[in-house]
Chain A
């Protein structure tokens, strides 16, 4: 067991300053006349989440992926929320010489956090939280939200080893003017190598960062940027930009991200078009969505285990069909180009979103 050098704190000075700042902001809350929410009903504990069954054929190798990811939401009083997402999934593959699919169920605690809504502009979060670098990991990752079931190539950049951080975060949304909202997130994560026996790793990197963005509701335009400082290993800086646009006049969604780090860089752009305006077969067409994603990745100076090892380009095209709210069929075809070999990527499956109250209490 290694002893800590005398006179040195467990937390370095920068970390202490950050925590002190968070604490001061937190304590400043008492000064504010926080706006009550009399018109919002008293919340009850709820389980929401998504499930699905996705079949992926990558380079001719089929992979069956049943998945369920419930999110537990427990509100306490007017300002607290305990939330946690657990994912149970299996990656079933064919073993050589066998036509049957084999695999085991993987269990992971994606996040387990406590949120305190300090005032209209500040929410403080502690615990294990999804690293807010870019928007995909935090907002677009769930199986029932994502338009294409494959991950963007650059997803591992900036989100840590298991896409989560362990520490504290301050965040909020502010109405800057009548036409512009500002949102921000600042966070610090400690190094964790915790590896429980019955779930996948609960590890995290030592890092600090922030993300800020503006949202123009009338035009439905969102742009923002992320910055992160890795406080271990090569101690490098990472940055990224994200954007989204849902024009009022068209049933179109356009999203994209660019990220740059010492371990790799890249971008993805994803347009999605709902066929609500097609004049024929309207019952089916208004439930149909066409999606495409164009992405490119460049390797960095420092090798990474979780990013592609060579420069890669990929194009995907998908068709989703919404049977009803929350239940949809998804399908896509993609072609990946790299010096390691080109390959086709097919996906087909079903996704479902669910929500139900926890217990038998009054929900009305």
Chain B
């Protein structure tokens, strides 16, 4: 009976690990496929491309600020901006400490280092 419980505990850990690994692969595949489909689109003219880039930068800044306020504000007042390489270290620390998602970290670092 005791042995069975140990086996069940071991299996649970393995299943959790398997699910997380599978989720990781799936996410990467999705990111790759969306990137390749974007590449397959027709090449836009320089003016359209530049306005698209500006729009994307503004959207990323908005998203970064939103995530920064939502995630950092869970525990403390929003800190001011530090130099980029310091910010990268602090965000790596916060990723571990506050279990932030990788996507949140990317957006927040980008926003905080602009």
Using a CB–CB cutoff of 8 Å, the interface residues on chain A facing chain B are: 13-14, 17-18, 20-22, 24-25, 28-29, 31-35, 37, 39-46, 48, 71, 73, 75, 81, 83, 115, 117, 119-123, 125, 138-140, 144-145, 171-175, 181, 183-185, 215, 217-218, 220, 222, 244, 246, 253, 322, 325-326, 353, 355, 357, 361-364
Flag whether B10 is at the interface (Cβ < 8 A).
Answer: yes
Convert B67-102 into 0s and 1s, putting 1 for each residue whose CB lies closer than 8 angstroms to a CB of A: 100110111110110111111111111011111111
* A357 with B79, Cβ < 8 A, contacts A40-B106, A181-B101 known: no
In the assembled complex, the CB of A350 is this many whole angstroms from the nearest CB of chain B, namely 15
In the assembled complex, the CB of B32 is this many whole angstroms from the nearest CB of chain A, namely 8
Q: For the complex, what is the distance from the CA of A218 to the CA of B10, rounded to whole Å?
A: 36
11 pairs from A and B in contact (CB 8 Å cutoff): A17-B13, A43-B85, A44-B86, A117-B95, A119-B20, A144-B76, A183-B99, A244-B74, A357-B86, A363-B84, A364-B85
Q: For the complex, what is the distance from the CA of A285 to the CA of B76, rounded to whole Å?
A: 18
Whether the Cβ atoms of B97 and A138 lie closer than 8 Å is yes
Q: For the complex, what is the distance from the CA of A355 to the CA of B91, rounded to whole Å?
A: 13
Whether the Cβ atoms of B79 and A32 lie closer than 8 Å is no
Using a CB–CB cutoff of 8 Å, the interface residues on chain B facing chain A are: 6, 9-10, 13-14, 16-18, 20-21, 23-25, 27-28, 31, 66-67, 70-71, 73-77, 79-80, 82-93, 95-106, 109-110, 113
- The 10 A-B pairs at the shortest CB distance, nearest first, are namely A21-B13, A25-B17, A183-B99, A363-B83, A43-B89, A43-B88, A120-B102, A173-B99, A41-B84, A173-B101
Name which of B76, B80, B85 has the most chain A CB atoms within 10 A of its CB: B85
Whether the Cβ atoms of B75 and A140 lie closer than 8 Å is yes
Smallest Cβ-Cβ distance to B88: which chain A residue: A43
In the assembled complex, the CB of A341 is this many whole angstroms from the nearest CB of chain B, namely 34
- Tally of contacts, chain A with chain B, CB under 8 A: 179
Q: For the complex, what is the distance from the CA of A217 to the CA of B71, rounded to whole Å?
A: 7
Whether the Cβ atoms of A355 and B85 lie closer than 8 Å is no
Interface SS of chain B: helix
| Chain A positions within 8 Å of B113 at CB level | 41
Q: For the complex, what is the distance from the CA of A17 to the CA of B10, rounded to whole Å?
A: 6
| Chain A positions within 8 Å of B21 at CB level | 25, 28-29, 31-32, 119
Smallest Cβ-Cβ distance to B102: which chain A residue: A120
Whether the Cβ atoms of B20 and A14 lie closer than 8 Å is no
Whether the Cβ atoms of B90 and A355 lie closer than 8 Å is yes
Name which of B82, B88, B99, B105 has the most chain A CB atoms within 10 A of its CB: B99
Whether the Cβ atoms of A13 and B74 lie closer than 8 Å is no
Whether the Cβ atoms of A171 and B74 lie closer than 8 Å is no
| Chain B positions within 8 Å of A25 at CB level | 13, 16-17, 20-21
Whether the Cβ atoms of A24 and B14 lie closer than 8 Å is yes
Smallest Cβ-Cβ distance to A219: which chain B residue: B70
Across the interface, B76 reaches (CB within 8 A) one of A75, A83, A145, namely: A145
Q: For the complex, what is the distance from the CA of A275 to the CA of B70, rounded to whole Å?
A: 19
Whether the Cβ atoms of A364 and B83 lie closer than 8 Å is yes
In the assembled complex, the CB of A244 is this many whole angstroms from the nearest CB of chain B, namely 6
* A172 with B20, Cβ < 8 A, contacts A41-B113, A185-B99 known: yes
Across the interface, B99 reaches (CB within 8 A) one of A48, A83, A171, namely: A171
